[in-house]
Amino acid sequence: MSNGILSRLKAGQVPLGVRQSAARGVLPVGQEELLAILILLQDDPDPQVSQTASQTLANEVSDDLLKTIVESDSTPLEVLEFFGRPPLRSNQVLESLIQNKATPDSTIASLAERVEADLMEVILINLMRLLRSPFVLESLERNPNPTPDIKRRLKEIREEFFEKRNNFIPIHRTQAEEKALQPASAEEPAESTALVVFSEEIKEGEDVTHLTLNSLADDGFGSFEEMGEEERLSTIQKIARMTVAERVQTALKGNREERIILIRDANRIVASAVLESPKLTDSEVESIAVMKNVSQDVLRLVGTKREFIKSYTVTHSLVKNPRTPIGTSLTLLNRILTNDLRSLARNKNVPEVLRKSAQRQLQIRTAPKDSKY
């Protein structure tokens, strides 16, 4: 009976008795399809059916169930659109809805204008969506709840991708500029070719240094070491000539070697775009999680992406990494296994507040469970 019921309901071909059962939530179909049916039945010509469907949606669908449903990319669009409209459900549900790449951009734009700052952060993570649908960015800019950091990032995205006229057009450089990008001699290629990348030795606001072939070879990505010197040099030279917008496009669509370089780009928009690449592999994410020479924004984004922190290796590496923002580390701390928590509690390389939190959580976990007095 469930085969094609959603399409038959849209065509007005479902008998009243079946619609009444569906409105009560007792139709033998999957949860995703049942939600879509209930949403449609709210506009049923029979007033009793429409009222019952609305009541079932409001009272019988828990946030825990809804969160599981809206994070699936197979969930019907009717469901994703409906729960993206007021009255809004919990922030946990909305976060799953926003992170679902199947959620329509129009629904994200509607949410972007009214959600709190923490959910604005989640929307900002998906750079591909912002570039594809600038109206989402406009909605974020109209939101009255941004933090200073969100305002800065919105301004950066606006300036880099929607105000600079030469974003996706190769820049014509002067002869002096071209010469500066060329190797000084065939004998010293590694020292003459450089990009601006993040460096943990430089304070915030001055976080640039030179990226050389030698520094790249020790970044945790094994494949760069396997490349020939000419190939590595060619990749660095090519990226050095790109505009910010071109580097973002390369981060999204380029190969592994290009991502190795761009994850450490001084421009946080470029570095963050690497995490949106559909070509990014699990092993690359694991390598990024242990890196100490990337922007803290990159590590924060890794820690907020559900598909990344499903990996215990990534989660554990982030918590151990002293570069990871303390808020991210503390959030992930309860996922750490007891043996690893014990090591973390003794690790003097991590921030003191994290080490103390690990010690407290370890005491709670290892305390005798039957001590009543």
Q: 10 Å Cβ neighbour count for 138? A: 16
Look up tokens 């290009």; give the residue.
258
Quote the distance between the C-alpha of residue 94 and its chain's center. 14
Quote the distance between the C-alpha of residue 292 and its chain's center. 20
Structure confidence at residue 347 (pLDDT):
93
Question: Could you tell me if 264 and 234 are in contact, meaning their C-beta atoms sit under 8 angstroms apart?
Answer: no
| The length of the chain, given as a count of residues | 373
Structure confidence at residue 245 (pLDDT):
85
Structure confidence at residue 275 (pLDDT):
93
H helix runs in 168-295, sequence order = 175-181, 189-192, 213-216, 222-226, 229-240, 244-253, 256-262, 268-274, 282-290
Give the whole-angstrom CA distance, residue 326 versus residue 355: 11
**pLDDT below 50 — which residues of the chain?**
1-3, 165-194, 199-218, 222-224, 373
Give the whole-angstrom CA distance, residue 191 versus residue 368: 59
Structure confidence at residue 227 (pLDDT):
55
pTM (whole model) above 0.75: no
Q: 10 Å Cβ neighbour count for 112? A: 25
Tell me the residue type at 359.
Q
- State both tokens at 28: 């033998």
CA distances from 195 to 8, 71, 207, 255 (A): 58, 38, 13, 18
Give the whole-angstrom CA distance, residue 96 versus residue 347: 33
* Residue in 103, 44, 303, 268 with CA at minimum distance from that of residue 22: 44
Strand partners, 320: none
Structure confidence at residue 128 (pLDDT):
83
Contacts of 117 (CB under 8 A, 6+ apart): 145, 146, 147, 150
Strands 196-197 and 209-210: antiparallel
- State both tokens at 138: 């406009």
Structure confidence at residue 367 (pLDDT):
84
Q: 10 Å Cβ neighbour count for 74? A: 8
Strand partners, 265: 197
Structure confidence at residue 210 (pLDDT):
41
* Residue 360 dihedral angles phi and psi, to the nearest 5°: -65, -45
Write down the domain spans for the chain: 177-280, 296-373
Structure confidence at residue 230 (pLDDT):
59
Give the whole-angstrom CA distance, residue 330 versus residue 346: 16
Structure confidence at residue 173 (pLDDT):
38
* Residue in 327, 321, 367 with CA at minimum distance from that of residue 344: 321
Contacts of 370 (CB under 8 A, 6+ apart): none
* Residue in 40, 103, 39 with CA at minimum distance from that of residue 72: 103
